[in-house]
Amino acid sequence: MKSRTHDAAMAELYRSDPALALDVLNGILQDGDQAELLIMLRQLTHAFGGMQAVAEHAQLNPTQLYRTLSPKGNPALSSLTAILKAMGLRLAVLPLDAATPE
């Protein structure tokens, strides 16, 4: 049996269960943990064809994408939205509680 890295296993899981990927991503965004966000985005990048493919769709230089998603990365909002858009996702703002403001 060939072993896989944790990131490869997570990428496969997210590819096969997009709803889980969205739940995990939204949970990370809610918690505000940038390190976890970058890990998740790296895993999603692998799920969406790899760094080169996502960089092309996001119209980013692959080296820039590697740096942006590195553990020391600090993605600008424009880069983050481009990366998410390349994956068919977007950021959204929601009220803190479930009640709709009147």
- Mean pLDDT of all residues in 75-95: 91
pLDDT (tens digit, 9 = 90+) per residue, 51-71? 999 999 999 999 999 999 999
| Predicted model pTM | 0.83
Residue 99: the pLDDT is 55
Cβ-contact 83, 68 below 8 angstroms: yes
- Mean pLDDT of all residues in 2-12: 87
